[in-house]
Amino acid sequence: MKVSRTVILSDMHYPETDMASFGAALQFIQETKPQRIILLGDNLDCQAVSRHSKGKPGLREKGGLRRDLDGFNKHILTPLESASPKAERIIFEGNHEAWLQQLLEEQPELQGCLELPKLLDLAARDWQWVPQGETRFVGKVMFLHGDQVGSSIHVAKKLVDSYCATAVMGHVHTLSMYTKTSAARQRDKWVGVTLPALCDLAPRYAKGRPNAWLKGIGILEEWGKFFNLYIAIITDGAFVYGGKRYAQ
């Protein structure tokens, strides 16, 4: 029976992406040619339009948004498209990209000028856009960015309790899992999973505060009605899967 593979990359926060870790993920995609690639949100950091940098011109570099869009296209989207040209491609809007929508709500005269799907020409490039707060199923597994779920040490439990489905989210930049069973139907078991990130784990704005963030990717493999989800933790720009090391 044929196995279908999906590779999930979350929270790249470009241009704060850890490019060595992304390079390892890209090598894996190039060699395995997955049937599907999912970018699970906060793909762009969008500091140039962040509500946190509002009123702080020192954090809003002139032309910063255009620079980030061009860099994301050149260094992330185009290499992914070349790595597995026939793959189905899905891109989620995270809460960071949604800052653009908040800007439009404040300045409606910009409507039609700042929508990311248009700015990145996603439809013409066969990227399916999933707006903030929406979910998408791949087989029996549900995907979402996860900002609507929140963040805490119990977020994986909250995720599966909220949706009663096997669900995968990003947003919290670390790996956690929780399994929920149905007392009425013992065969029903759901797993909530939070994925690691692909961004810098010590951003300047954190000012040295400790965190539990990790770098890594998700690998979903399906055959018939069955599936396995693997989490590959990336350390120093490398990870191992199936007995092989992947690195930039």
pLDDT for 57: 57
**What does each of the 248 residues of the chain score in pLDDT, given as a tens digit?**
799 999 999 999 999 999 999 999 999 999 999 999 999 999 999 887 766 656 555 556 676 788 999 999 999 999 999 999 999 999 999 999 988 887 766 667 667 667 899 999 999 999 999 999 999 999 999 999 999 999 989 999 999 999 999 999 999 999 999 999 988 877 888 999 999 999 987 766 666 778 889 999 999 999 988 999 999 999 999 999 999 999 98
How far is the C-alpha of 232 from the C-alpha of 165, rounded, in Å? 22
Question: Which residues fall within 8 angstroms of residue 97, CB to CB, at 6 or more apart?
Answer: 41, 42, 43, 44, 46, 116, 132
For the chain, the residue count is 248
- Give the pLDDT score at 4: 96
Domains along the chain with CATH numbers? 4-132+205-247 (3.60.21.40)
Q: Which residues pair with 177 in a beta bridge?
A: 193
CB atoms within 10 A of CB 80: 23
Q: Are 7 and 28 in contact (CB under 8 A)?
A: yes
pLDDT at 114: 74
Q: Give the Å distances, CA to CA, from 199 to 16, 185, 193.
A: 6, 40, 19
Contacts of 184 (CB under 8 A, 6+ apart): none
SS3 assignment, position 152: coil
In this prediction, residue 103 carries a pLDDT of: 73
Residues 140-149 as b or e (16 or more Cβ within 10 Å = b): ebbbbbbbeb
pTM confidence score? 0.92
